[in-house]
C-alpha cells in the first residue's frame, strides 16, 4: 500500500487494482501543495467520511473528470446525484461494500454532517463515519474521520483489527492529540498510527505534537507524514 497525505484529512491510497482518495479537500486547502490533477491521477474510487466542505472537497469534480466511483453516506450520494455525479455507491453505518480490489466498511464517528449550497441554505447529509479499508495482501486501514474518542472504538478494533490508524488530532472540531493518543493506546492494536486534521486553519492545532507526546512509549509507531510525499506501508 502506498499512502499520500495532502493535508487536513485528505489521503490517496494506491493498492493493486485501485487508487482510492479519502476526503479530497484539495481546492481551497491552504496547505495542499500539489495540483488536483496530479493528486487525483488514475483515481478509481473516492470515499467520503461525511458531508462538510473540508471533506467533500473536490469529490464531485474528480468523479466527473476521472470516472471514479464515489462511496459515501446514502444522503451524500443523493446530494451528489442531484449535482450530476453518476457513479455513486451509497452506504451507511455498519455496512460493507465490495469494490473488487478492496472492501469498505463504515463505522460510527461522533461529529456532524452537512453542507451549505450556493444559496446559503444548509442541508443535512446523513451521518458522519469512520472508514475501514480491507484489501487482499494489505494491512487493514482505519480512517476515523472527524470524531471524538468513544468506548466503542474497542469494537471497531475487535471486528476489523486495523493495523494502520489515521486519527484526527486538531482539537476544537475533533478530539485533540492527547485524547487521540488515549484512543489509540486504549482501544486499538495499531502497528502504525498517523495523525491528521491539524495545521490547516488557525482554529485547530498547528502541529501533532500533543499526539506524538501522548504516544511516547506505546507499541504503535507514530508516523507523521510529510505533505504530498508518498510512503509505503
pLDDT digits (tens, 9 = 90+) for 159-206: 999 999 999 999 999 999 999 999 999 999 999 999 999 999 999 999
Least confident of 97-101, 112-116, 205-209: 112-116
The H-assigned helical ranges of the chain are 36-40, 53-56, 59-66, 74-82, 153-160, 177-187, 209-214
The DSSP symbol for 225 reads P
Residues 6+ positions from 163 with CB-CB distance below 8 Å: 139, 140, 141, 189, 190, 191, 192
User: Which superfamily does CATH assign the domain made up of 2-232 to?
Assistant: Ribonuclease Z/Hydroxyacylglutathione hydrolase-like (3.60.15.10)
Percent of the chain whose predicted confidence (pLDDT) is above 70:
100
Amino acid at each position: 500500500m502506498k499512502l499520500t497525505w495532502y493535508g487536513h484529512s485528505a489521503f490517496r491510497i494506491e493498492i493493486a487494482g485501485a487508487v482510492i482518495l479519502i476526503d479530497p479537500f484539495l481546492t481551497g486547502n491552504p496547505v495542499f501543495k500539489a495540483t488536483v490533477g496530479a493528486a487525483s491521477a488514475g483515481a478509481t474510487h473516492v470515499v467520503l467520511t461525511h458531508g462538510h466542505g473540508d471533506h467533500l472537497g473536490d469529490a464531485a469534480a474528480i468523479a466527473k473528470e476521472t470516472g471514479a466511483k464515489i462511496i459515501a453516506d446514502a444522503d451524500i450520494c443523493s446530494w451528489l446525484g442531484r449535482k450530476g455525479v453518476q457513479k455513486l455507491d451509497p452506504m451507511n453505518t455498519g455496512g460493507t461494500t465490495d469494490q473488487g480490489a478492496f472492501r469498505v466498511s463504515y463505522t460510527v464517528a461522533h461529529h456532524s454532517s452537512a453542507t451549505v449550497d450556493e444559496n446559503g441554505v444548509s442541508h443535512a447529509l446523513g451521518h458522519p463515519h469512520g472508514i475501514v479499508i480491507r484489501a487482499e495482501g494489505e494491512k487493514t486501514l482505519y480512517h476515523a474521520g472527524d470524531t471524538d474518542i468513544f468506548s466503542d472504538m474497542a469494537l471497531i478494533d475487535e471486528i476489523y483489527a486495523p493495523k494502520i490508524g489515521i486519527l484526527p488530532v486538531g482539537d476544537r472540531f475533533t478530539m485533540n492529540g492527547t485524547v487521540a493518543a488515549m484512543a489509540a493506546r486504549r482501544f486499538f492494536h495499531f502497528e502504525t498510527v498517523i495523525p491528521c486534521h491539524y495545521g490547516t486553519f488557525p482554529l485547530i492545532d498547528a502541529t501533532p505534537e500533543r499526539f506524538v507526546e501522548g504516544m511516547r512509549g506505546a507499541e504503535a509507531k507514530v508516523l507523521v507524514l510529510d505533505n504530498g510525499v508518498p510512503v509505503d506501508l
